[in-house]
């Protein structure tokens, strides 16, 4: 039996780190992730872990320290948000290119400017193509569970890539929820001991880390990263099954909530899924076949599986909590529609950018999206020749004051 607790998302993340007991944690404070290293530092001070805690002068230094520790053969972790992640940007790419399985808790927050400390996904979307595995978490339980699975995924011999676990700033990071923790010994056995094959402190195999990599080799090395990301898909599935055996909690690439017979479907990530589930339940009581696809694994992106899950829908809306500022929709929308196109799934699909800078998104807001989808599905049914309707205004905003 697990241990029943009431914790915030940040506390849950810190406890996961305590149970993992990494060799090094390097961090610099930034709202709303500050509490994670703060809580963890108390575990270090109290002797509950034997981790070397490095209080650095910036987030760039935090990731640099993690890179140094992981290169030396240690297991390294950190946490950050928004502008902190932006300051790490150079080192984020270096961590993945060096194939270092660092684990980071990313508490999602709007990236400046103007300054805003509240939640959206602009930080995560800014590094979505940096070569990190990215898992998103609807609630505190999922943030905790994802962190416990992270090292086992990242350190796998066929992967060897860094991994970030995302959760929504303040919405989950500071909200207290009921949570079930695993016993320390179960976590220790599940995560295992880090045994790198190549590392700087191995005196039997002298190596260089971070050498110059020019035209003759860089292309091939980047392709190796891409292959590792593809391999991560299988490893994530395997680790999730192992985790289910010890926890009873099942995780797949994405959650299908009342999706089997759905005609109108929303695709979203993180805490918005909870609000969407409430809207789906209300609509189902009215006989409306609404459903949700909640993306958990964003990198690698499960394009083929998502296309298969959406193929029978009449209309789909993809919700992006960050605007790509490209005039053609957000990042999640681009990935979903690309995956559908490549896999020959042709369903009318629209995009909503929402929640920027922490703007509230209510059940009523979500229901208004489903209402729009009902109208699109109704137009589709009128097509006697089976042709798909051309959606007017496929790129939209939800909860925005005024009209565009």
For residue range 58-67, what is the model confidence (pLDDT) as tens digits? Answer: 999 999 999 9
Summarised one tens digit per residue, pLDDT across range 263-315 is: 999 999 999 999 999 999 999 999 999 999 999 999 999 999 999 999 999 99
Residuewise pLDDT in 10s, the chain (404 residues) = 689 999 999 999 999 999 999 999 999 999 999 999 999 999 999 999 999 999 999 999 999 999 999 999 999 999 999 999 999 999 999 999 999 999 999 999 999 999 999 999 999 999 999 999 999 999 999 999 999 999 999 999 999 999 999 999 999 999 999 999 999 999 999 999 999 999 999 999 999 999 899 999 999 999 999 999 999 999 999 999 999 999 999 999 999 999 999 999 999 999 999 999 999 999 999 999 999 999 999 999 999 999 999 999 999 999 999 999 999 999 999 999 999 999 999 999 999 999 999 999 999 999 999 999 999 999 988 886 777 778 989 999 999 998 77
**For residue 384, what pLDDT is reported?**
65
Pick the closest to residue 152 from 245, 31, 287, 27 (CA basis). 245
**For residue 130, what pLDDT is reported?**
98
Domain residue spans of the chain: 3-247, 254-398
Report the chain's C-alpha Rg in angstroms: 21
Pick the closest to residue 136 from 248, 28, 236, 286 (CA basis). 236
CA separation, residue 205 to residues 4, 100, 197, 200, 212 (Å) = 46, 18, 10, 8, 20
What distance in Å separates the CA atoms of residue 65 and residue 53, rounded to the nearest whole number? Answer: 10
Beta-strand relationship, 76-80 and 24-27: parallel
Residues 6+ apart with CB under 8 A from 112: 82, 83
Q: Which CATH architecture has domain 3-247?
A: 3-Layer(aba) Sandwich (3.40)
What distance in Å separates the CA atoms of residue 334 and residue 207, rounded to the nearest whole number? Answer: 40
CA separation, residue 259 to residues 179, 240, 254, 307, 358 (Å) = 26, 21, 11, 13, 28
**For residue 390, what pLDDT is reported?**
86
**For residue 1, what pLDDT is reported?**
67
Same topology, domains 3-247 and 254-398? Answer is: yes
Task: Please spell the DSSP secondary structure of 285-324, one letter per residue.
Answer: HTT--EEEEEE-EEES--HHHHHHHHTT-SEEEEEESS--
Q: What is the pTM of this model?
A: 0.97
SS3 content of the chain, % helix, strand, coil (to 5): 40, 20, 40
**For residue 354, what pLDDT is reported?**
98
- Sign of the alpha-carbon dihedral angle for 221, 225, 230, 236: positive
Alpha helices in 99-217 (DSSP H): 122-126, 140-154, 184-191
Pick the CATH number of 254-398 from 1.10.10.10, 3.40.630.30, 3.40.50.920, 1.10.1420.10: 3.40.50.920
Asked if 390 contacts 315 with a C-beta cutoff of 8 angstroms, the reply is no
**For residue 381, what pLDDT is reported?**
84
């Amino acid at each position: 039996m697990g241990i029943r607790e009431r914790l915030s998302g940040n506390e849950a993340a810190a406890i996961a780190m305590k149970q993992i007991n990494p060799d090094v944690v390097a961090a610099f404070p930034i709202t709303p992730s500050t509490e994670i290293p703060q809580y963890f530092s108390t575990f270090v001070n109290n002797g509950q872990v034997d981790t070397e805690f490095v209080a650095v002068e910036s987030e760039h230094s935090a990731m640099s320290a993690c890179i140094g520790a992981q290169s030396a053969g240690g297991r390294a972790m950190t946490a950050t948000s928004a502008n902190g992640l932006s300051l790490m940007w150079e080192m984020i790419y270096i961590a993945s290119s060096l194939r270092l399985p660092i684990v980071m808790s990313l508490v999602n927050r709007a990236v400046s400017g103007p300054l805003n400390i509240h939640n959206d996904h602009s930080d995560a979307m800014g590094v979505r193509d940096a070569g990190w595995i990215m898992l998103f978490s609807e609630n505190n339980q999922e943030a905790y569970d994802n962190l416990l699975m992270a090292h086992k995924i990242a350190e796998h011999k066929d992967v060897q890539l860094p991994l970030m676990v995302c959760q929504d700033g303040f919405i989950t990071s500071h909200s207290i929820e009921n949570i079930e923790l695993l016993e320390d010994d179960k976590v220790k056995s599940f995560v295992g001991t880090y045994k790198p094959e190549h590392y700087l402190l191995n005196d039997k195999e002298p190596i260089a880390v971070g050498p110059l990599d020019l035209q003759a080799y860089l292309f091939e090395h980047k392709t190796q990263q891409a292959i590792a990301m593809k391999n991560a898909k299988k490893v994530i599935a395997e680790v999730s099954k192992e985790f289910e055996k010890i926890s009873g909690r099942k995780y797949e690439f994405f959650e299908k909530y009342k999706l089997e017979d759905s005609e109108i479907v929303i695709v979203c990530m993180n805490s918005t899924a909870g609000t969407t589930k409430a809207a789906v339940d209300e609509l189902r009581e009215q006989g409306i076949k609404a459903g949700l696809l909640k993306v958990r694994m964003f990198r690698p992106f499960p394009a083929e599986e998502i296309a298969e899950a959406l193929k029978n829908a009449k209309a789909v809306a993809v919700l992006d909590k960050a605007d790509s500022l490209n005039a053609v929709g957000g990042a999640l929308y681009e990935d979903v529609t690309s995956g559908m196109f490549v896999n020959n799934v042709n369903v009318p699909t629209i995009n909503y950018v929402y929640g920027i800078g922490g703007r509230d998104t209510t059940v009523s807001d979500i229901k208004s999206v489903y209402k729009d989808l009902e109208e699109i599905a109704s137009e589709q049914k009128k097509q006697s020749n089976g042709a798909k309707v051309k959606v007017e205004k496929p790129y939209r905003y939800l909860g925005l004051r005024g009209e565009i």
